[in-house]
Structure 1
Amino acid sequence: MTDSINPNPEPPQGPRYAILVAGGSGTRMGADRPKQFLNLLGEPVLLHTLRRFAAAALGVEQCVVVLPAEQFDVWQQLCVEHNVTIQHAVVAGGATRWASVRNGLAHLATYTEGIVAVHDGVRPLVSAEVLEQTYAAAAAHGAAVAAVAPKDSVRGLAQQGSYALDRARLRLVQTPQCFELNLLRRAYQLPELNTFTDDASVVEDLQPIYLVPGDYRNLKITTPEDLVVAEALLRAELKHE
């Protein structure tokens, strides 16, 4: 991976697309609904995320929301309740995240070029700056991922005890992860990897991954504590608009 503290990518070229993957069940949240549908200041988490990508200044031509098929009706009802007018496609996910991204990518089959972002549907606080920089870096380098430096000390596990890792050489990967469209298509034509952790791990055998500075506020809502933090951060953001 190529790490950059202050990337200066070339201006983005070609159309932009987004695949928002939202297949969570809410188990770790202890909630009565999938985490993408949890209430965040009066609206579903997934709606907040979708709105970030629908911002006119970002110029995303097509947003694809990937959901389990059994959640389509719930999402449609939520869109009606919240008067959602944002144009987006809804695609059925697969048994794994890898399969879900592949299904979302298949919906873009009619497009021949551009940059596609893959983003967690439960990262609703991604900033316009991070989105723009990651799209632009992918246009310049082929593949770009938002990431942040670890704040804590990090240790690896061994058969006997553990060992220290140099956190200066480590990054915590976030989304968006942006790729040249046909590059991502080639990567997803390969068999699913047992070591799959994110889209960068699918692409990295074909293309070096350029790292863009992420944002600690771009948290992934996974546990109840995450939702509390997200609410506080969103209130602060709205207050300063």
Structure 2
Amino acid sequence: MNKAAILVAGGKGTRMGGPVAKQYLPIGGKPVLFRTLEAFNQAYEQIHLILVLPEGDFDFWNELCQDYGFDIPHQLVAGGSSRFQSVKKGLEALPFKEGLVAIHDGVRPFVKASVISESFEVAAERGSAIAVVPLKDSLRKLNDKGGSRYEERQYFRLVQTPQTFQIPKILKAFQVPELPQFTDDATVYEHQGWPVTLISGNLENIKITTPEDMAYAEYLLQRLG
């Protein structure tokens, strides 16, 4: 079965506070995006990789690949004005219309190969596979009057990526106009009336957004070896 992964990295990295976007910063001497691409390549060597970047970053990215000798095959696609639009452009660039596609945040380099492979296996059978992890903290729900109430955390999950789908279904799902409730790809898929299937993610699969995340990423690299 055809397999593809769309890695979305269209952000400007403003929360990192530096001149270089977070996806290009090095952890352990290697840019974040290199590690994310490697994770999918190691899980499935024949997977078709699509990397969605701001079009203005293409030359910089190609220079990075040349400087580091990075040679994992991947297709560059120009991102859109929002994550929804960037994913849609990635989907439109797929070289095949049947099979499975994983959609993943480019700044989540610590996804396990076992999570990637399970996402493809479950999506092949169920239509979708969304990586989630349980909450560790207590949970309270706010109301409009400024109060709050306790919620049982066992009924909630934190959503990660990859989010993997059968290609014909996710292509159809992304034909609708963008809506505010589309916070991830699962909500776009669910908008069609299709249930999403959850799988266990891995806690190390953090989304690198802030300088503190970069420091933790360096720690994770040392711990995971």
Fold conserved between structures, TM > 0.5: yes
**CA offset at residue 112 of structure 1?**
2.7
Q: Which runs of 5+ in 2 are unaligned?
A: none
Provide the aligned C-alpha RMSD in A.
Answer: 1.1
Distance 2:215 2:11 in 1: 18
Partner of 2:32 in structure 1? 45
Q: Which amino acid aligns with 2:71?
A: T
Distance 2:187 2:75 in 1: 26
Counterpart of 1:146 (choices 120, 131, 140) is 131
* Conserved? CA contact 1:23–1:67, under 8 Å: yes
1:177 aligns with 2:179: no
Partner of 2:209 in structure 1? 222
Q: Which runs of 5+ in 1 are unaligned?
A: 1-13
**CA offset at residue 162 of structure 1?**
1.3
**CA offset at residue 140 of structure 1?**
1.1
How many residues in Structure 1 have an aligned counterpart in Structure 2?
A: 223
1:33 aligns with 2:7: no
Distance 2:131 2:112 in 1: 11
Q: Which amino acid aligns with 2:130?
A: V
TM-score by length of 1: 0.90
Partner of 1:54 in structure 2? 41
Distance 2:221 2:132 in 1: 20
**CA offset at residue 34 of structure 1?**
0.4
**CA offset at residue 205 of structure 1?**
2.9
Distance 2:171 2:187 in 1: 14
Runs of 4+ residues deviating >6 angstroms: none
Which of the pair has the greater relative contact order for Cα pairs under 8 Å at 6+ separation?
1
Partner of 2:149 in structure 1? 163
Partner of 1:190 in structure 2? 176
Deviation string 1:157-197 (CA, Å, 9 cap, x unpaired) is: 11221121111100000000000001000001111112110
**CA offset at residue 127 of structure 1?**
0.6
TM-score by length of 2: 0.96
> What SS class does the counterpart of residue 28 from structure 1 fall into?
helix
**CA offset at residue 60 of structure 1?**
4.4
* Conserved? CA contact 1:17–1:117, under 8 Å: yes
